[in-house]
Copies of this chain bind each other. A is one copy, B any other.
Amino acid sequence: MKLSTRSRYGTRLMLDMAQHYMKGPIQLGTIAKRQNIPVKYLEQIIIPLKKAQYVKSVRGNKGGHYLARPPEEITVGEIVAILEGGLRLTKCTDEPDACKRHEDCLTRAVWKQATDAMHEKLNSITLSDLLKTGDPCEYEMDTEDNPT
Whether B90 pairs with A138 at a CB distance below 8 angstroms is no
- Interchain nearest-CB distance for A100 vs B (Å): 9
- Interchain nearest-CB distance for A148 vs B (Å): 21
Whether B138 pairs with A104 at a CB distance below 8 angstroms is yes
- Is the interface on chain A under 10, 10 to 19, 20 to 34, or 35 or more residues? 35 or more
Whether A110 pairs with B87 at a CB distance below 8 angstroms is no
A44 within 8 A of B: no
Residues of B within 8 A of A111 (CB): 3, 8
Whether B133 pairs with A106 at a CB distance below 8 angstroms is yes
Q: Contact check: which of B88, B113, B134 meets A104 at CB < 8 Å?
A: B134
A27 within 8 A of B: no
- Interchain nearest-CB distance for A99 vs B (Å): 10
Give A99-134 interface residues, CB cut-off 8 Å to B.
101, 104, 106-107, 109-111, 113-114, 116-118, 120-122, 125, 130-131, 133-134
